[in-house]
């Protein structure tokens, strides 16, 4: 059998949970799910699951999950009204499947009470 040599997985520190690792990676630094997956050593499917939970849980800290929407590479259509975090399969305008992935970042909410 001809198998590819796999890189050994680098484990996270014992105190750091998977969600905390994702939060640390995307705090004020936009990344795609694929980038998060590679840096946090988990599957993209797991990343989307964690992002859903993070989107709901960080609200209490005064932060929010900023999502830069996916965009069609061919016609430039922006999927701005999409609620799902996963990238779309194809563009509804030109039917092309080449789509830039959405980017995720955690930002602090502006304190509007000071104004």
Domain ranges of the chain: 18-110
pLDDT at 22: 92
Q: Kind and range of the H or E element at 37?
A: helix 33-40
Res 109: pLDDT: 81
- pLDDT attached to residue 51: 94
Q: What is 18-110's CATH topology?
A: Arc Repressor Mutant, subunit A (1.10.10)
Cite the DSSP H helix spans in 41-86. 44-57
- Order across the sheet with 63-68: list the strands: 31-32, 103-108, 63-68
Residues 72, 99 contacting (CB under 8 angstroms): yes
In the numeric block, which tokens belong to residue 1? Answer: 């059998």
Cα–Cα distance between 67 and 9 in angstroms, integer?
Answer: 28
The pLDDT assigned to 110 comes to 74
| Cβ pair 24, 58 in contact under 8 A | no
DSSP single-letter state for residue 102: P
Q: Please give the average pLDDT of every successive group of 10 residues along the chain, which has 115 residues.
A: 61 69 91 93 92 89 92 94 91 94 90 43
E strands present in 1-115: 31-32, 63-68, 71-72, 99-100, 103-108
Q: What is the pLDDT of residue 15?
A: 52
Residue-level pLDDT at 28: 85
């Amino acid at each position: 059998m001809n198998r590819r040599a796999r890189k050994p997985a680098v484990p996270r520190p014992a105190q750091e949970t998977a969600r905390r690792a994702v939060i640390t990676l995307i705090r004020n630094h936009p990344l795609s799910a694929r980038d998060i997956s590679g840096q946090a050593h988990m599957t993209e499917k797991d990343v989307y699951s964690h992002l859903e939970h993070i989107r709901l849980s960080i609200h209490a800290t005064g932060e929010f999950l900023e999502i830069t929407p996916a965009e069609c590479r061919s016609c430039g259509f922006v999927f701005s009204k999409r609620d799902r975090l996963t990238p779309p399969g194809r563009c509804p305008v030109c039917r092309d499947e080449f789509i830039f992935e959405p980017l995720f970042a955690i930002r602090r909410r502006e304190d509007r009470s000071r104004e």
